[in-house]
A = this chain, B = another copy of it.
């Protein structure tokens, strides 16, 4: 089933406020290999923060440390406003299951005052979404919730070629059932770049995101005004070494606005 009354993304990221902790439930729709898709967990945390009564300002940065694989079922969220300044807030979040910390996160919210503005990074030119066939080779649940259309660097796994593959990718990404891109969606998409180690090794290997950092480059209002259901993503990596590697990415509006940049450190076994 691809949609219910509400969008699966909204169902998957929903939490309810409790007395001191918030509560949520993992979604089978966004399952990865050994736990939920890291992006949906990050999006759940960001959404909970945005819905918190004490939240002021727009998300500026989010760092999510995946301490252990979240298991299927209920989880608690502890959302703590560590410091509030005149125009910014610092939050700490713990996602626990049976009182064990599974995910540790920090976030910064701030009033995005008008300022001098310049985009240094180059908009990744790409043919229109409609002209590219969807990528359907990976059938992991969370991947099926997205419509990936590769402009370059589509993962080519399991072939005869064993030389290191390119770690660069450029692609369109949309929710499989179209949904306007808001901050939680952007958060999830910032973890939706396939593991660069799969590209480099040209095969699936044991892999996990250890820490994900996403910076938001527009205000909530600006993102809403973009009125988009698709983003253009670009991803690359710098190094794989001693069981850990990095990767980074950009998410652009089709209108040419840089919406988010992201980086992560990952574990791999190869």
Contacts and interface: CB of A to CB of B under 8 A. Distances in A.
A252 to B, nearest CB: 11
B90 A120 contact: no
Interface of A is mostly: strand
Interface in A91-136: 92, 94, 100-102, 104, 106, 108, 110, 112-121
Contact of A238 (B219, B236, B250): B250
A261 B246 contact: yes
Interface in A231-256: 236-244, 246, 248, 250
Instruction: Count the copies.
Output: 2
Interface string A50-80: 0000000000110101011000000000000
B210 A61 contact: yes
Given A213-B213, A263-B263, A242 B67 contact: no
Interface of A: 60-61, 63, 65, 67-68, 82-83, 85, 88, 90, 92, 94, 100-102, 104, 106, 108, 110, 112-121, 164, 167, 200-201, 210-211, 213, 215, 217-219, 222, 236-244, 246, 248, 250, 258, 261, 263, 265, 267-270
